[in-house]
Structure 1
Amino acid sequence: MDIDFSLYLVTGRELLPPGKDFYETLEQALQGGVTVVQIREKSLDTAEFLEICQRSKSICDRYNVPLLVNDRVDIALAVGANGVHVGQTDMPIAIARKLLPPNTVIGTSCNNVEEVKKALSDGADYIGIGAVWATKTKTLDKPVIGVRNVGAMLEVLDGTSVQAVAIGGIKSKNLLRTLYGSVSRTNHSLDGVAVVSEIMTSDNPKEAAAYLRNILREFQSGSSIQLGLCTQPNTHTSESITREIVGLMVLMKKISPLIHQITNNVVIAQSANTTISIGASPIMATSAQEMSDLSHICDALLVNIGTLTQDAYLGMLEAGVCMNAKRKPIVFDPVGVGATAFRKSAVDDLLNTWQASVIKGNAGELAALSGITEVESKGVDSVGTGFKDPVTFIRNLAKRERCIIALTGKTDYVSDGKSVAILKNGHQYLGEITGSGCITGSCIAAYCALASRLSESKPLKEDKLVRGDVFVGTISGILLLNVAAEIAAARDDVRGPGTFFPALLDELANLTPQVVSERVRVELA
């Protein structure tokens, strides 16, 4: 049977609101857009489970929606179910296949790549990957996978007809993040998501299901949670990027986007002043209670973990979720991620909770993020010269994280997963002042905000920009800071790092399109 797995309801009668009838909930969920139903009852005797499945099958048939039964092959046979779902410790797929009629769909649960491979060899028709998020509807005997680890499991399915459904803690607030992040490097995506509590606990299951269905349709139509990943043929050239940078400069002071920055306490003032110098407006706030309101008014979010605390971490979690909901860019700077276990754990949680538009870091930080040991780090600094092949490294990391990656250093590299821009402007003084990487993040966030704002507005007569191009926004933020640094360092009144930063602010504010056009050095690989 050809099953549409896109909105997969797993039932749980224990979750029903007081007084709510199970069969009424099931029918309303089907009216709202549920495409397949699994009846899951772990504590019932056979007679009661059989009755529930019989009545549920009758309701599903009226809406031409397939019914699957969890675990119980005998019940599936008795009611003529369209399929069964078995766990790793349930009846083996090969035996279930012998007992069930031809064309019965059989799915199984998978928590890691090895289990996916086994499901393929056993002949599963689909797999349930999870738990993707923490869930209270089922006692977990295996670790939560996290959105960013689903891709490796999907990649195993390349070249097969086996479909994949994500399960575990999926709700409307994290559904788009789940869909967007659960894609392999080979662009293999989910066929659907399994939802339990969002529908079963609702007083209006039809409305709850319809809301989830609309999010699925939005994603399937190409609407993105953010504007970073390149999904179209890339037509950028060095010349076109330079033109777009100049165009963004002209528009920056006209639009003056508001940039929310949860950043390093050491450089809050420098970051705010830098933001103002380039023509944007800063707001610094860390309290989780403010994040929903701020997401309405701010145009982009910068998250910098330089001085990470538990309270700031909670603010970062909430801020990212709120900005994702508004489809606004998030620039993430995992400062010193390889230095401590707390930072590593926090970064993993943040990136599994919300989708970054841009991840910016030095060689040590990005190496730690990718899980390789090619580059050492000491605190927030890289040790050594970096990667042997930075172009390939950041292109692959951009594909894995599904966002723009910016590798900063003596030479900067920016990738959208297809193209890699190599940026050669800058001055050594940037490496001799506190927080140069942090203010780079501020500049990137401002220009990504501008690119995002442009994607929502009517074309301006003087503007020939690629709208919503966060790739160019990232390049712009880095290059404009670096060009200003070159000019500032050459001034007669600059004698070293101490006099350099005030001059840098001046030159950022005074940069002209003509100067930028003449000085920018960008190549594409």
Structure 2
Amino acid sequence: MAYQFPPIYPILDSSFIPASGRRQFLHDLGAALADAGVTLLEYRKKTGSDAELRSDAETLRAVMSDESIRLILDDRADLVCEVGFDGVHVDAGDISVREARRIVGPGRIIGTFAGSDALIPGILDEPANYFAIGPVFSTTTKQTDKKPIGIDGVRRLRQQAGPDVILTAAAGITLDTAPLVLEAGASTVAVAAALFSAADPASEFRRWRERLADF
């Protein structure tokens, strides 16, 4: 059976992690998110050493060990199996989707960027499990020169992709706009700052999960 994506999942960017007490912070955060019902999480770390990335990933995996929780590593297909993650997200500038699939094998999840104004030609032929679209709105957590596509853009890309493709919408989505994004055709919304800028990210996730329970 194909993996069932939840209507919302967090993207934890390393910029939200304090430099001091890093391991304990990640342990406590991971435990709280698991308790709040997170079943899919992407970890993104663009800077720092491989050793630190491994340590972060292994800490998250250890505390979010329930078999129902899937962990996705941004960019680093080469480390996915080593740290026990369940998949990888690769974009332009990273390795190709096909190379990522060769590295992580057939059973793990792969995501990739699929387009903004229109789907990238041929992207749906790539061996990925989900396809990210956006930015839906303006974002502060990921550098991009692409213009926000808005709700109409999500609707347009869903029409291009057809009904069965998993489309992940991201960037600048709030609790108020998330239902509109899902109604427009996104399969799931990926959220970073709206969760991790909150005083209690796990409690904030619960609010989102309850709000989107009907999707």
How far apart in 2 are the matches of 1:202 and 1:18?
18
1:26 is matched with which residue? 30
Is it true that 1:114 corresponds to 2:119 in the alignment?
Answer: yes
1:130 is matched with which residue? 134
Higher helix fraction (1 or 2):
1
How far apart in 1 are the matches of 2:4 and 2:172?
23
Is it true that 1:71 corresponds to 2:82 in the alignment?
Answer: no
The change in CA–CA distance for 1:16 and 1:73 in structure 2 (over 3 A counts) is: closer
- Number of equivalences: 210
1:155 is matched with which residue? 159
CA contact (8 A) 1:16 1:200 kept: no
CA contact (8 A) 1:111 1:131 kept: no
**1:24: Cα distance to partner?**
1.6
Give the one of 183, 202, 218 matched to 2:198: 202
Runs (4 or more) in structure 1 with deviation over 3 Å come to 16-20
The residue correspondences of 1:490-509 to structure 2 (distance < 5 A) are none
Q: What is the SS of the residue equivalent to 2:101?
A: helix
CA contact (8 A) 2:26 2:60 kept: no
**1:150: Cα distance to partner?**
0.9
Is it true that 1:59 corresponds to 2:63 in the alignment?
Answer: yes
Q: What is the SS of the residue equivalent to 1:128?
A: strand
How far apart in 2 are the matches of 1:11 and 1:217?
21
How far apart in 2 are the matches of 1:154 and 1:146?
13
The residue correspondences of 1:246-395 to structure 2 (distance < 5 A) are none
How far apart in 2 are the matches of 1:14 and 1:200?
10
Give the letter aligned to residue 173 of structure 2: I
Give the one of 84, 103, 108 matched to 1:99: 103
Q: What is the SS of the residue equivalent to 1:39?
A: strand
CA contact (8 A) 2:137 2:172 kept: yes
Is it true that 1:14 corresponds to 2:15 in the alignment?
Answer: yes
Q: What is the SS of the residue equivalent to 1:110?
A: strand
1:2 is matched with which residue? 3
How far apart in 2 are the matches of 1:210 and 1:139?
27
Task: Output one character per residue of 1:113-172: Cα deviation in whole Å (capped at 9) or x when no partner.
Answer: 232x43212222101111101011111122211111111211233264x31111001121
Give the letter aligned to residue 8 of structure 2: L
CA contact (8 A) 2:154 2:181 kept: no
Q: What is the SS of the residue equivalent to 2:113?
A: strand
How far apart in 1 are the matches of 2:13 and 2:49?
15
1:87 is matched with which residue? 91
1:167 is matched with which residue? 170
Cα root mean square deviation, aligned: 2.1
**1:78: Cα distance to partner?**
1.0
**1:4: Cα distance to partner?**
2.3
How far apart in 2 are the matches of 1:66 and 1:201?
22
Is it true that 1:41 corresponds to 2:45 in the alignment?
Answer: yes
How far apart in 1 are the matches of 2:81 and 2:46?
18
Structure 2 residue ranges without an equivalent (≥5): none
**1:5: Cα distance to partner?**
3.3
CA contact (8 A) 2:26 2:56 kept: no
1:190 is matched with which residue? 186
CA contact (8 A) 1:131 1:143 kept: yes
Q: What is the SS of the residue equivalent to 1:61?
A: coil
2:211 is matched with which residue? 215
The change in CA–CA distance for 1:159 and 1:194 in structure 2 (over 3 A counts) is: closer
**Radius of gyration: which is bigger?**
1
1:478 is matched with which residue? none
| 17-26 or 209-218, which deviates more | 17-26
Give the one of 167, 179, 187 matched to 1:176: 179
**1:28: Cα distance to partner?**
1.4
The change in CA–CA distance for 1:35 and 1:6 in structure 2 (over 3 A counts) is: farther
**1:177: Cα distance to partner?**
2.7
Q: What is the SS of the residue equivalent to 2:64?
A: helix
CA contact (8 A) 1:10 1:196 kept: yes
Q: What is the SS of the residue equivalent to 1:11?
A: strand
